[in-house]
Amino acid sequence: MTDSTLPFDSRLTSSAYSQALQVIEAVEPRIAEATRAELADQRASLKLIASENYASPAVLLTMGTWFSDKYAEGTVGHRFYAGCQNVDTVESLAAEHARELFGAEYAYAQPHSGIDANLVAFWSILAHRVEGPWLEKFGAKNVSELTEADWEALRAELGNQRLLGMSLDAGGHLTHGFRPNISGKMFHQQQYGTDPETGLLDYDAVRAKAREFKPLVLVAGYSAYPRRVNFAKMREIADEVGATLMVDMAHFAGLVAGKVFTGDEDPVPHAHVVTTTTHKSLRGPRGGLVLATSEYAPSVDRGCPMVLGGPLSHVMAAKAVALAEARTPMFADYAQRVADNAKSMAEGFLSRGASLVTGGTDNHIVLLDVTSFGLTGRQAESALLDAGVVTNRNSIPSDPNGAWYTSGIRFGTPALTTRGFGHDEFDKVAELVVDVLSNTTPGSTKAGGPSKATYLLADGVADRTRSASAEMLDKHPLYPGLDLA
C-alpha cells in the first residue's frame, strides 16, 4: 500500500530507469551497480536530514539529457555561445515558473547551489548599492569605463561593507557571515543570535544591533532554526538603517511555495533579494535560485560571468519541472503535511520528556538538545545511524560542545513526508529516537578520560529500531512500483 505524495507513473518510470541502467552498465557496470545500491539504501533508511528530500522521477530524468552538453554563459537572448535557443526556452520557463510560484518580480535560475545563489546575491547587492553610485560619481555608464585608479578606490569601497546575519549556533547558515566562510571575509560582519531564555528571535535585539552596526546587508533566514520568521519586521529594521534585506529561504522554500508561510512569514513581498536552493523542501534538483525586485534584477542578471561559471542547462530544465510541480494543489497539500508532521514529531519528543530548542517547532525542523541524555551531538548522531536513523548533529545556541561535536540533533520532515509518513509515524519516530538515545552512554578516550565522540549503544536496541522502522518504511515505499529488474 502507498500514499506517497510524489506524482509519477510507476510503469513508465520502471521502464525508463531499467533501460537507462542497461545503457550505463554497458560502459561502466560499477556505476550502474552503485546507482541501484543507492536506491536500495535510500529505500531502507529513515531519512530525517532536514535539508534532503526525494525528487520526482520527472525531475530526476530531466537531468539526464543532452542539455548537459551545452555551454550557455550569459543570459536569455544574450549568450557568449551560438546555438542556445533551446537553453533560452529552458531558462525562461524555469524563471517564469519561479516568478509565478513565488509572486516575484524577477527570477534567476542559473545558480548551481545555495552558496552560489548567495554569492550572486552578495555581489549583486554590492554592485547595486556601491558600484552604481560609484559609476554615477565618475559619469561612467558601466564598469568597463572606470580607470585603474577608479577601480582601486572602488575595490576598497566594495570590500569595506558590513553584513549582519544570524549566527551559526542560533541556526543561521555558514554563508550568513560565519568567519571562516567567504561571506565572513568579504564583509565586515556581525551576527545576531536568539533570546537566551526562549531560543526565539528577538527582533528588538536585532534592531538594536542593526542601529549600532549599520549594515549594508541584513540577512534573514536559517538552516537550523525551528521557527517561522517575521520578514515584515526584518524589512522594517533594514529600512530603518538603510540596509538591503536579503532572505535565504533555502530551507523553507517549499513551505513558501505551498503557501504554508504567507503574509509576514512570506519573504518574497518583503525582501529586496531572496535566495534559495531547489532541492530541500522545494523537492527539485540540486541547485539554486535568486528572486529579486526589479530594482535589483539588472545586477542579479550579471551573476554569470560575475560569479558563476556556465549554467547547468540540464539542471535548469529540471528546476522548471520541479517548479511546475510545486505550482499544483498536490504540492500545497504536501507542504502543509511537512509542517503538521514536524509538530507531531516535536510533540512526540516533548511527551517523552526530551528537550527541544525553542520548546517546539512551527516549520519543518525539530532541534533536539541531547545534553539531557548525557551525550554530544556527535555521539547521538552515530548511535542513531547505527540504528538506521539518518540525521545530522547540529549546534544549539551557546553550544558547550562547539561546532564539531555539538549538543544537538537536527531532524526534518520533508523527505519522509514525501514517502507518505503522517502523524502516527512521526510520533513513532520520536519514540524510536528517544529509545536509542536513552540506551546510549558516552565512551572514553584511549587514555580513559571522557570522550565526546565514542559511545556505547546497548545490545539489541539497533535491531529493534531497525525492525520498527522497516515496518513503517514498507508501508510507505520510496518510488512505489518502481522496479529496476
Residues known to be catalytic: 71, 73, 248, 277, 280, 286
Compare residues 58 and 367 and give the one whose CB is closer to ligand DSN. Answer: 367
* Residue nearest to ligand DSN as judged by C-beta position: 51
Compare residues 173 and 227 and give the one whose CB is closer to ligand DSN. Answer: 173
Ranges of H-type helices in 327-413: 329-350, 377-386, 402-405
CA distance 200 to 381: 24
Mapped onto helix, strand or coil, the DSSP state of residue 36 is: helix
Taking the complex as a whole, the smallest distance from the CB of residue 281 to ligand DSN amounts, in Å, to 11
Mapped onto helix, strand or coil, the DSSP state of residue 270 is: coil
Compare residues 111 and 114 and give the one whose CB is closer to ligand DSN. Answer: 114
How many other β-carbons are positioned within 10 Å of the β-carbon of residue 146? 17
Compare residues 114 and 284 and give the one whose CB is closer to ligand DSN. Answer: 114
Residue pair 118/308 in contact (Cβ under 8 Å)? The answer is no
How many other β-carbons are positioned within 10 Å of the β-carbon of residue 254? 28
Residue 114 cell numbers, joined:
545555495
Taking the complex as a whole, the smallest distance from the CB of residue 81 to ligand DSN amounts, in Å, to 31
Taking the complex as a whole, the smallest distance from the CB of residue 393 to ligand DSN amounts, in Å, to 11
Residue pair 383/457 in contact (Cβ under 8 Å)? The answer is yes
Pairing mode, if any, of strands 188-192 and 162-166?
parallel
CA distance 194 to 203: 9
Please tell me whether the peptide bond between 305 and the residue prior to it is cis, using omega within 30 degrees of 0: yes
DSSP annotation of 194 reads B
Compare residues 176 and 209 and give the one whose CB is closer to ligand DSN. Answer: 176
Handedness of CA 411, 415, 417, 421 (dihedral sign): negative
Taking the complex as a whole, the smallest distance from the CB of residue 251 to ligand DSN amounts, in Å, to 6
Measured at the CA of 302, the angle between CA 300 and CA 307, to 5 degrees, comes to 95
Closest CA to 479 of 32, 56, 58: 56
H-helix or E-strand containing 37?
A: helix 29-44
Taking the complex as a whole, the smallest distance from the CB of residue 429 to ligand DSN amounts, in Å, to 19
Compare residues 4 and 223 and give the one whose CB is closer to ligand DSN. Answer: 223
Taking the complex as a whole, the smallest distance from the CB of residue 165 to ligand DSN amounts, in Å, to 14
Closest CA to 91 of 331, 256, 287, 248: 287
* Residue linked to cell 510560484: 101
Mapped onto helix, strand or coil, the DSSP state of residue 121 is: helix
Compare residues 110 and 118 and give the one whose CB is closer to ligand DSN. Answer: 118
Taking the complex as a whole, the smallest distance from the CB of residue 253 to ligand DSN amounts, in Å, to 12
Taking the complex as a whole, the smallest distance from the CB of residue 161 to ligand DSN amounts, in Å, to 23
Residue pair 125/244 in contact (Cβ under 8 Å)? The answer is yes
CA distance 43 to 40: 5
By CB under 6 A, name the binding residues for ligand DSN. 51, 114, 173, 223
Closest CA to 440 of 387, 362, 396, 481: 387
How far apart, in Å, do the first and last CA atoms of the chain sit?
20
Mapped onto helix, strand or coil, the DSSP state of residue 191 is: strand
Compare residues 79 and 410 and give the one whose CB is closer to ligand DSN. Answer: 410
